[in-house]
């Protein structure tokens, strides 16, 4: 499902069930040794999806451990992202020669609990969400805002190794073309020679789910200057 909002350079694998054959590598077991069954199932299937996506890129099915902040530690030369919610698991990976960073998130298409919107939004976002609710009531726009900000963080962290709060980005969601733009309210890193001021993303609502994705592609190699033919004498 999520592949429809990702570039072809990104390999995506998602599932609506926890496959019976999904297992963890021995090195991954300690990461969820104390987890309840629900958390263990989410983690296991997320890693399973990630390895299936890696296989599509011709990569070996190696363990995917976690960093100090819980982020997946991808093999050298890969970037990726994992998400899960009730009834859905997904992982995406790409070669660093093709993609600089990628972040994804999935949520149920249901309103946030009371008080959550106020906790995750900045003042200018609230009237935007209210207008979207009025004009397009079939989408839980507050939940989409939450999901998009999760994708922002997941795309941000590999570039900075720093936390990004929900209030550190201001989003504008386009209800017609399935896109959103996030303006950073903090100083961003330099990416491709320029200071990063925000992210552009895409979203999709289908099968009772909201999915969001952000991808920054690697710039295309500069074309070599044409070689002039020697002058004819």
Give the model's pLDDT for residue 233: 38
- The helix, strand and coil proportions of the chain, stated in percent and rounded to the nearest 5, come to 30, 30, 40
Cβ neighbourhood burial of 228 (10 Å; 0-12, 13-18, 19+):
exposed
pLDDT digits (tens, 9 = 90+) for 138-158: 999 999 999 999 999 999 999
- Residue spans of the domains in the chain: they are 2-217
Predicted model pTM: 0.92
pLDDT digits (tens, 9 = 90+) for 30-81: 999 999 999 999 999 999 999 999 999 999 999 999 999 999 999 999 999 9
What does the H/E/C string look like for 38-103? Answer: HHHHHHHHHHHHHHHHHHHCCCCCCCCCECCCCCECCCCCEEEEEEEECCEEEEEEEECCCEEEEE
CATH topology of domain 2-217: Ribosomal Protein L22; Chain A (3.90.470)
* Residue 112 · residue 214 · CB < 8 Å: no
- Nearest-angstrom CA–CA distance, 84 and 60: 23
Sign of CA dihedral 175, 112, 152, 164: positive
List CB contacts of 124: < 8 A, sequence separation 6 or more: 170
- Nearest-angstrom CA–CA distance, 94 and 77: 8
- Nearest-angstrom CA–CA distance, 31 and 42: 12
pLDDT digits (tens, 9 = 90+) for 192-231: 999 999 999 999 999 999 999 999 999 977 554 455 545 4
Instruction: Locate 209 and state its tokens.
Output: 């789910």
* Residue 156 · residue 164 · CB < 8 Å: yes
Instruction: Locate 78 and state its tokens.
Output: 């890969």
């Amino acid at each position: 499902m999520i592949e429809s909002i990702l570039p072809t350079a990104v390999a995506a694998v998602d599932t609506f069930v926890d496959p019976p054959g999904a297992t963890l590598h021995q090195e991954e077991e300690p990461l969820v040794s104390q987890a309840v069954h629900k958390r263990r199932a989410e983690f296991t299937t997320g890693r399973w999806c990630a390895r299936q996506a890696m296989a599509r890129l011709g990569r070996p099915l190696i363990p995917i451990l976690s960093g100090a902040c819980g982020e997946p530690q991808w093999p050298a030369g890969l970037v990726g992202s994992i998400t899960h919610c009730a009834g859905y698991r997904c992982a995406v990976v790409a070669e660093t020669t093709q993609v600089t960073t990628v972040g994804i998130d999935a949520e149920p298409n249901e309103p946030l609990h009371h008080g959550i919107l106020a906790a995750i939004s900045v003042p200018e976002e609230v009237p935007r969400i209210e207008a979207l609710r009025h004009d397009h009531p079939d989408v839980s726009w507050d939940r989409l805002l939450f999901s998009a900000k999760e994708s922002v963080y997941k795309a941000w962290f590999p570039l900075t190794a720093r936390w990004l709060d929900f209030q550190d980005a201001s989003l504008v969601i386009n209800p017609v073309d399935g896109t959103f733009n996030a303006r950073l309210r903090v100083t961003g890193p330099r990416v491709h020679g320029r200071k990063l001021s925000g992210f552009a993303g895409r979203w999709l609502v289908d099968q009772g789910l909201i999915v969001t994705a952000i991808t920054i592609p690697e710039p295309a190699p500069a074309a070599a200057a044409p070689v002039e033919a020697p002058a004819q004498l």
